[in-house]
Structure 1
Amino acid sequence: MDAELFPRNRTEIAPGAVHLPDWLTPERQHGLVEACRDWARPPAGLRTVRTPGGGTMTSRQVCLGRHWYPYGYASTVVDGDGAPVKKFPAWLGELGRQAVRDAFVNDAPTGEGPAAGAEAPPYATALTYDIALINFYDADARMGMHRDSDEKSDAPVVSLSLGDTCVFRFGNTESRGRPYTDVELRSGDLFVFGGASRLAHHGVPRVHAGTAPPDLGLTGRLNITLRVSGFPTADPVTG
């Protein structure tokens, strides 16, 4: 289809949780996919995450800045090859701050920046994003309901979608069950959650295979989540 029957507009899913469709330009999506391919290479590359109970996550993951494992952070891939975690690039931190500025300015356009003259939240420019968790989903991968609660900061989580469309289930802070809202996240979409929704449960119950933009060169789905660790000894960013 050349146009949406119902345009996809900025939506506040819950207090502090905002969906911005088509936020990433096609050029930015291509650049992020290529960056993810580099980050996925060993050492400290894409791995299968194993839970303390002996299970495995169906999505695969690579980390930047700090290595996440269930349920904490380390400076090396303690549950993989033991290599030092890859550095978190400064440009990715700026992208995170830009995402927060756009998400919380109601009339901000999609694309590369906030509306002219719009006032961004005063704290947005001071956010020090220093961790990225990058999950790769094939057609059969899922993510159970969980909370992002291993950081020492309550700064908003920034989620960027690339490739196949998924159903993103955004729930409540009390339990993994209802009430929740299912949101369709497509390639290029931005989802930011902070404030009252920072510790809301969320997951991915379904990925729609074969829905990625044909020219993106990606089979499957990549999700990049940016976080502020709040750790005083967090690894410094690098350009």
Structure 2
Amino acid sequence: MDAELFPRARTEVAPGAVHVPDWLDAGRQRELLEACREWARPPAGLRTVRTPGGGTMTSRQVCLGWHWHPYAYARTVVDGDGAPVKPFPTWLDELGRRAVVDALGTGPVACDMAPSKVPYDIALINFYDADARMGMHRDSDEKADAPVVSLSLGDTCVFRFGNTETRAKPYTDVELRSGDLFVFGGPSRLAYHGVPRVYAGTGPPELGLSGRLNITLRVSGL
């Protein structure tokens, strides 16, 4: 009931880690969803990620700009169909930079965490069905320390944001809904984070998405 009566507030979850609810309006969500559907088509489309130990991730993924595979980047889908990775569009870089400013501001501390003149050039797009999860991990395969930008579409999830030392507590659970923005940089850039739960059927019906899409933007430094 409270969520219906009162707008959700922007929250600094940890130093340099900020949750901005409802950052994407309904129209922008639809545009981003349509783009994701195009990117998910083969070649270099949506795939199941297999870990070196023989396990598989329960979310499925497609990459733009650079192809991520555990635990490196390549220009082709080396663990899939071998096709060249799809290009990273300029408008996604612009969206990422605006997200950082809106989340972290333009003050002296925020400027220390802002992306360099090198543009955002990686997008990892993960699709979660009702049973998908993401274990605690760090985004540590990049050579740049620009903030990570995370956008949510579709079903609500529990996003677990932890510390930089261990996968265990302390951590904070944040509810991410369709249209929400989460940015983490500076002292929180290498914090462990994961998705322990997705709430099926909670996305906006008008979006027409069954499941959850997470679009993560990064600066590779490569």
Bin of the TM-score, shorter chain as denominator length:
over 0.9
1:67 paired residue number: 67
Partner of residue 184, structure 2: 193
Aligned CA distance change for structure 1 residues 123 and 142 (closer, same or farther; 3 Å): closer
Q: Distance in 2 between matches of 1:96 and 1:2?
A: 30
Deviation larger for 156-165 or 120-129: 120-129
| Corresponding residue of 1:40 | 40
TM-score of the aligned structures, taking structure 1 as reference length: 0.88
Contact 1:145 1:202 in 2 (8 A): yes
Is residue 83 of structure 1 aligned with residue 74 of structure 2?
no
Distance in 2 between the 1:202 and 1:192 partners?
A: 12
Number of matched residues? Answer: 220
Q: CA deviation at 1:120?
A: 7.0
**Structure 2 gap segments, 5+ residues each:** none
Distance in 2, matches of 1:164 and 1:221, equals 5
Structure 2 match to 1:142: 133
Percentage of identical aligned residues = 80
Q: Tell me by how many angstroms 1:195 deviates.
A: 0.1
Secondary structure of the residue that 2:4 maps to in structure 1?
coil
> Where in structure 1 do 4 or more consecutive aligned residues deviate above 4 Å?
119-125
Tell me the CA shift for residue 5 of structure 1.
3.5
Counterparts of 1:187 and 1:104, CA distance in 2 = 20
Counterpart for residue 112 of structure 1 = none
CA distance in 1, matches of 2:217, 2:14: 19
Find the counterpart in structure 2 of residue 111 from structure 1: none
Q: Per the alignment, do residues 122 and 193 of structure 1 end up closer, same or farther by CA in structure 2, a change over 3 Å counting?
A: closer
CA distance in 2, matches of 1:207, 1:70: 23
Q: Is the contact between residue 114 and residue 147 of structure 2 (CA under 8 Å) also seen in structure 1?
A: no
Alignment partner, residue 160 of structure 1: 151
Q: Does the C-alpha gap of structure 1 residues 147 and 124 become closer, same or farther in structure 2, counting only changes over 3 Å? A: closer
Shift of 1:127: 4.8
Q: Is the 8 A contact 1:102 1:120 kept in 2?
A: no
In the alignment, which residue of structure 1 is the partner of 2:160?
Answer: 169
Give 5+ residue unaligned stretches, structure 1. Answer: 107-118, 232-239
Residue matched to 2:201: 210
Q: CA shift at 1:121, angstroms?
A: 7.0
- Deviation of 1:3 after TM superposition, in Å, equals 6.3
Q: Note the aligned Cα RMSD (angstroms).
A: 1.9
